[in-house]
Chain A
Amino acid sequence: MRIPCPFCGLRDSSEFVTIGEASMSRPPADAPEAQIFDYVYLRDNPAGVNQELWYHAQGCRSWLKVARDTRTHEIESAVLARGGAQ
């Protein structure tokens, strides 16, 4: 699988590290336990396009938001999770 890094171009997935779904956002520290449990353990794991966070560790060291089809590994889009300086 190759990932189209918006800075580096097409790169082998071995250059990247993923931490999974990009839709997660950390609940406040005083949130109910059920909400924390959901954040830490529960994933939708869709059969289809999934928004994921990938880190280009062996490249430009940017976090990317990648829309990947979990059935085909086809990548719809990859954008910087945070905008660049230029």
Chain B
Amino acid sequence: MSEAIALELKSPFEASLKDAGAGDGVQVSERRNLQMATVIARAGNSDIAARLKSAFGLALLPGPKRSAANDLAFVATGPRSWLALSEASGLTPKLREALGEAAAISDQSSGYAVLRLTGPKVRATLEKGIGVDLHPRAFQPGDAASTSCAHLGVIIWQIDAAPIYEIAVFRSLADSFAHWLQESAAEFGLRVVPPR
């Protein structure tokens, strides 16, 4: 006898991410309802780009870039690995069908959490924890980096020149990251805006 358990989506940031300081220097929102999966090319396999093109119309860019088509984004995390993100359901089965034996796919929808950050002081805040040069001459929309922020592993990518960045952290590190963000953005003012 088993009863179906209704799984409820819980935000790892809901309790910990709060406004900080005075002002409106940085705005942060959580991207909820994101499906995520890591995609790692199997040894010797090189037709992932062709398969993504034919299945999703996604043109996979070489190097540390974010490639996107419609609702699907591939953020390169290494020479043979990507974090795939989509708001549509069923991401992992769709990727398995499209990529077949070309890649190992692991669902990460409950592994990572993603924040969207913007505001006039967003770069001044991120510079306090991230060693990668985020100045526009070095990092622009479409660029991505796997790095660390205050010793926490993060994947960061830029989606707009405004600038707008998105950062993926492991959900279990969400409290620590939220604490770092509040402390670092407090002098400019941190505003939590509703999730999108």
Contacts and interface: CB of A to CB of B under 8 A. Distances in A.
Contacts of B145: 8, 59
A58 interface: yes
Nearest to B149: A58
Interface stretch (B45-53, B87-95, B169-177): B45-53
Contact of B147 (A58, A80, A86): A58
B79 A84 contact: yes
Interface residues of A, number: 17
Contact of A60 (B45, B79, B131): B79
Interface in A25-52: none
Contacts of B62: 86
Contacts of B48: 85
Contacts of A58: 146-148, 153
Nearest to B148: A58
A62 B81 CA distance: 10
Given A7-B63, A8-B146, A61 B81 contact: yes
13 contacts: A7-B64, A7-B78, A14-B131, A15-B147, A58-B153, A60-B77, A60-B79, A61-B146, A84-B79, A85-B46, A85-B48, A85-B80, A86-B46
Interface of A: 7-9, 11-12, 14-15, 58-62, 80, 83-86
